Structure 1
Amino acid sequence: MHADRLDNQAAFDLLAEPEHQRLLYGALKAANITRYHPQFEDCVTVARLTWLAAYQNYEPELPANLPDFRKFAFRRIKWRTVDYLRQQTLRTQSQVDLEHALPVAIDPMSDQEAHWQLSALLTDLLHQCRPGERIYLTEFFL
């Protein structure tokens, strides 16, 4: 029997079986995610979506190779969860605290205005330079 890889309902029906639920939570536990982890619910959602992706990307016939698929899905869920947590950690580390973000001014035109001022200055200098100085100015700044 050939399973349709794009049949999401079949993938989630397979996940609904108790042994596969244990597999999912076991993979989360292997990634050090317990129900007391602050991102537990997010990780469960990521694990379920990873199960779906594993189901869709597993090449051999599924009913015949179900034990191998379980190993494949376990590894996929574990490493995708670890990667998800790493990305979340990097994202939170790079965020600016709101207290420090208040004085930060965002002016998208300031860079453009500085570019226009520099262009005007260089144009004025090019008109006043001798030929040798023009070559130096052009090579150095442009």
Structure 2
Amino acid sequence: MTKSNQAAFNRLLQDDNFIYGALKSLHINRYHENFDDLYQEAILTFIDAYQRFPGDPETHEHEFIVYAYQAIKWATMRHFRQENGRNKQIGFVNRLSEDDALMDYLDQISDPHCDPDNAVIYNDLFEKLYQVCDPRERRFLVLRYFANASLKEIAVDLNITRRTANNIKFRVQKKFSGLLIL
């Protein structure tokens, strides 16, 4: 079932405060020089999130708002990284699809230019993810984020194949996704 763009716009007309909240959490207020552009991009991100949401946004409203809020923050952070010339891939390697970009939020931990205010949020999220992982997944997280190890290096360290390391990566991504939806 495809969700209509009109339904997304109608939902946005009801309440767009969470868009302002997402931008405000990144220290972007109405007086920011690019506020209007960033707000318009946030609207487009909201519509995309409405389309991609894995459930019905109307019946699972709270979960959808959290999902859209995070999507807006990620898109805005991605915009600033590109604008600042730091559009490099960090974090999980060998991304296979845009869905793998879910990990971008957690990838900020390994970015040496990470905003200290946001670092607290990222570290808290990393800690929550670390708690729900099994020992092998925990080792994967530590190697990937703090040692910046490749999948090949992780496979060698854990004495497993690269395919198994990739499977661990996807399990971690699934757990991370679950944390964000809650």
* TM-score normalised by the chain length of structure 2: 0.45
Higher relative CO (Cα under 8 Å, sequence separation at least 6) belongs to 1
Are 1:77 and 2:72 counterparts? yes
Structure 1: any 5+ residue segments left out of the alignment?
A: 92-142
**Over residues 76-106 of structure 1, what are the superposed CA-to-partner deviations in whole Å (9 max), with x where a residue is unaligned?**
1011111112212229xxxxxxxxxxxxxxx
Number of matched pairs: 86
Instruction: Pick one of 83, 86, 89 that aligns with 2:84.
Output: 89
**Over residues 39-93 of structure 1, what are the superposed CA-to-partner deviations in whole Å (9 max), with x where a residue is unaligned?**
11110011000000100000112222111000000011011111112212229xx
* TM-score normalised by the chain length of structure 1: 0.57
Structure 1 stretches of 4+ with a deviation exceeding 6 A read none
Map of 1:28 onto structure 2: 23
Structure showing greater radius of gyration is 1
Distance 2:11 2:45 in 1: 13
What is the RMSD of the two structures over their aligned residues, measured on CA atoms?
1.6
Structure 2: any 5+ residue segments left out of the alignment?
A: 87-182
Are 1:58 and 2:53 counterparts? yes
Instruction: Pick one of 41, 48, 52 that aligns with 2:43.
Output: 48
Matched position secondary structure for 2:28 = coil
Instruction: Pick one of 7, 13, 21 that aligns with 1:10.
Output: 7
Q: Is the 8 A contact 1:51 1:77 kept in 2?
A: yes
Percentage identity across paired residues of the two chains: 37
Map of 2:32 onto structure 1: 37
